[in-house]
Chains A and B, each alone.
Chain A
Amino acid sequence: MVIIDSEVCKGCSLCVVSCPQKNLKLSESLNRIGYHPVEFHYHGEKGDCTACGLCYWVCPDFAIAEVRRLKQ
């Protein structure tokens, strides 16, 4: 699963388009800096979050703060 820091998100949607499971979507509401921040949905359109971490690596703003996986 993904922990998001919505107050620094600039709604660039790079994570949205990179997520193979489509777990991420821009929110309807606005954050403090005036952008639509991204929201995490564990059960995505194409499947559940696999903690692949691609969103973490493409985010330019550290809005994807943590990627957590089930304990090994």
Chain B
Amino acid sequence: MTTLQDKATGGYEVKLGRLPTLTGKPTHYCAGCEHGVLTRLIANAIEELGMREKTVLVDSVGCSVLAHDYINTDAIQSPHGRAPAIMTGIKKVRPDLLVFAVQGDGDAVAIGLLELIYAASRGEPITVFLVNNAIYGMTGGQMAPTTPAGMVTTTTPRGRDLKDTGPVMDATKLLSGLEGPSYVKRVFLPVTPIGSTDLYSARGSLEGAKSVLNAFKVQLMGGFSFVEFVSTCSVNWKMSILESKRYSSEVLAKLFPPGLYVDKMGVEKK
């Protein structure tokens, strides 16, 4: 946990506080969206590594298109799906920089799947964070490759039929089958209802914080790192915020099992 010293107020010290790696600008993300949580986790990791001035974030197309408005580092916009290629270009000529992209399931698993597979295969020392909410968020709720069977979206108004649209794509499994990646992990990020109590578990955020930091460490050691964050999209799923957390934990966590899939450098053991 980051500890920042602050002027003591009545015997208190700051345990967790404001981060210089965040611009402080209020986000455009929908209430309760994991994009916001991930932004916090990334800002924290960059701060812990002291890399704010040596980081270039690559904006993707989707809900994360405005990431540079929130994370206080240099940034470059990528065309839809091409972030892994852009990051490869940056790292080839400036291997000292930390580069990363937050991609949605459309950006990384649909239009950008080829770029993702090849950057991963070549083991480029870059980091991709995939926010998988099983739908196209920014464009208004169309089917994604990760949309579960039967889900109603604006392009599957009668529920997704896998017969016509193909199977649900598992990016984490796909990448773990390649030789190149050094760190492939899937984290269930949303708060999770605990049984029949009214308390929700925040373990997703804590696991996420560790995973983001590890992913960056792997990159700095020269490996390709990928973390998929199973998330929610209450607005396009047409659920309340807490209903969407429950749905995600009951359906998506089973469809996309969280876990450590590849850890060639043993970063989680350290």
Contact = CB atoms under 8 A, between A and B. Distances in A.
Interface of A: 1, 7-8, 10-14, 17-18, 20, 33, 35, 51, 53-54, 56-62, 65-72
A62 B34 CA distance: 12
B26 interface: yes
B242 A13 contact: yes
11 contacts: A12-B241, A13-B241, A18-B200, A54-B202, A56-B16, A57-B37, A60-B27, A60-B29, A62-B27, A70-B11, A71-B13
B196 interface: no
Interface residues of B, number: 40
Nearest to B24: A62
B122 interface: no
Given A53-B15, A53-B16, A68-B12, A59 B36 contact: yes
Contact of B205 (A51, A58, A65, A68): A58
Contacts of A68: 6, 9, 12-15
Contact of B241 (A1, A14, A20, A51): A14
Q: Tell me the interface secondary structure of chain B in the complex.
A: mixed
A61 B26 contact: yes
B33 A60 contact: yes
B12 A1 contact: yes
A70 to B, nearest CB: 6
Contacts of B14: 66-68
Contacts of A62: 22, 24, 27, 36, 40
Nearest to B200: A17
Contacts of B15: 51, 53, 67-69
B133 to A, nearest CB: 13
Given A18-B202, A20-B199, A71-B8, A66 B17 contact: yes
A60 B32 contact: yes
A11 to B, nearest CB: 6
A60 B14 CA distance: 20
